Amino acid sequence: MVKGAEHARAIGSNTMQIMSGNPSAWNPGRLDRGQADSFVSYLDENDLRPVFLHAGYLINLSCRRGRNAPLFNKSVTLLAANIERARALTCEYVVVHTGSRRGTGEDEALATLVEGLEKVWRRADRRRGPSSGRRRREPMLLLENSAGSGDSTGATFEDLAAMLSAARRERIGLPLGVCLDTAHMWGAGYDLSTPAKVRRVIDEFDELVGIDRLHCVHFNDSAVELGSRRDRHEHIGNGLMPLEGLRTFARSRKLRRVPLIMETPGKAQPSDEERMRDLLALA
């Protein structure tokens, strides 16, 4: 973990996102306390904040009908474990995909998601240990938008707003916010091709959800067409999203305090240093 943080600083990052275990497994594995303590010390000494922990990809809180019930329960367990891991690593945020309806209706999927969030909150609250004295606050759970493929939930700003509103009505104590992925937005049909269109999209999000609820942007280009409902990340400038639109997004005054995280493919070229230079040039 420390080597990852050192690499982030070496290429010019002042924030980072981590996986705390195999993202495609139900068991995240044991946390090495020595590594964890060294990681936290490095973050604090080098002002590498905030840190985002991306929850496992298998989590699906939007369906629990029939044979999906065991997966729903395992998703609650895994997400609660990810929040517990974030506490141990002093990560300020946990990012999670909201999942798939798997053939159920939108209203049922929303109710299932809120029920899942309540179960996660109660389980994570029970697991809360004594304070180590270094926690800044409880990690905030960020719901990430999807590209809209299949029965996936959270593809629209209306979806995200409904999720947050329903959780608020049920008085779920888990701190909640939003993470937007530009490649997912593009796949879902949000046109980020020109400065004017980008400003309209950002204003629409602000009106429906609120910029104050946005705490992270996964800043990615896309290898697929606008509205394809597919999720294919590409390095900035190598995909189908016009650079002028990405530049406007990165320079938006409304988003100037929102951290940008690149999730572009792990290829030898361009190097991480070159990717960072491209992002800084845009911003």
DSSP code for 152: B
Residues 6+ apart with CB under 8 A from 1: 18, 35, 36, 38, 39, 89
* Backbone phi and psi for residue 37, each to the nearest 5 degrees, phi listed first: -65, -40
pLDDT digits (tens, 9 = 90+) for 97-123: 999 999 999 999 999 999 999 999 999
Q: What are phi and psi of 17, to 5 degrees?
A: -120, 140
pLDDT at 133 over 80: no
Q: How far apart are CA 145 and CA 163, in angstroms?
A: 11
pLDDT digits (tens, 9 = 90+) for 171-213: 999 999 999 999 999 999 999 999 999 999 999 999 999 999 9
Helix/strand/coil for 180: strand
pLDDT greater than 90 at residue 2: yes
Categorize the per-residue pLDDT at 21 as very low, low, confident or very high, splitting at 50, 70 and 90. Answer: confident
Band of pLDDT at residue 131, cut at 50, 70 and 90: very low
Q: Of 145-149, 167-171, 227-231, 266-270, which gets the smallest average pLDDT?
A: 266-270
Q: The tokens of 8 are what?
A: 């982030």
pLDDT at 268 over 80: no
Bridge partners (DSSP) listed for residue 141: 94, 176
Half-sphere exposure in the Cβ direction for 260 (13 Å, CA): 24
User: Which pLDDT band holds residue 266 (cuts at 50, 70, 90)?
Assistant: confident
pTM for the complete prediction? 0.95
Q: Of 53, 139, 148, 146, nearest to 97 (Cα)?
A: 146
Tell me what pLDDT residue 132 has.
46
Q: Are strands 51-54 and 221-222 parallel, antiparallel or unpaired?
A: unpaired
Contact call for residues 19 and 51 (beta carbons, < 8 A): no
Which residues neighbour 251 within 8 Å (Cβ) at sequence distance 6 or greater? 282, 283
Quote the percentage of the chain above a pLDDT of 90. 89
Res 137: pLDDT: 80
d(CA 162, CA 209): 9
**Domain annotation for the chain: domains and CATH numbers:** 2-282 (3.20.20.150)
Task: Specify whether the CB–CB gap between 230 and 184 falls below 8 A.
Answer: no
Phi/psi for 259 (5° steps) reads: -65, 145
The pLDDT assigned to 100 comes to 96
CB 70 within 8 A of CB 26: no
